[in-house]
Chain A
Amino acid sequence: GAVVSQHPSRVICKSGTSVKIECRSLDFQATTMFWYRQFPKQSLMLMATSNEGSKATYEQGVEKDKFLINHASLTLSTLTVTSAHPEDSSFYICSGNRENRNIQYFGAGTRLSVL
Chain B
Amino acid sequence: EDKVVQSPLSLVVHEGDTVTLNCSYEVTNFRSLLWYKQEKKAPTFLFMLTSSGIEKKSGRLSSILDKKELFSILNITATQTGDSAVYLCAVRNTGNQFYFGTGTSLTVIP
Residues of chain A at the chain B interface (Cβ within 8 Å) = 1-2, 9, 36, 38, 41-46, 59, 91, 93, 95, 102-106, 108-109, 111
Contacts and interface: CB of A to CB of B under 8 A. Distances in A.
B102 A104 contact: yes
Contacts of B34: 42
Interface residues of B, number: 24
Interface in B22-54: 34, 36, 38, 41-45, 48
Most buried by B among A44, A103, A105, A106: A44
* Closest 3 A/B residue pairs (Cβ): A106-B100, A46-B42, A42-B45
B105 A102 contact: yes
B30 to A, nearest CB: 15
Contacts of B97: 9, 108-109, 111
B98 A103 contact: no
User: Main SS of the interface on chain B?
Assistant: strand
B96 interface: yes
A103 B9 contact: yes
A91 B42 contact: no
20 contacts: A42-B34, A43-B44, A44-B36, A44-B42, A44-B43, A44-B45, A46-B41, A91-B96, A91-B98, A95-B100, A102-B10, A103-B102, A103-B103, A103-B105, A104-B86, A104-B102, A105-B102, A106-B98, A108-B2, A108-B97
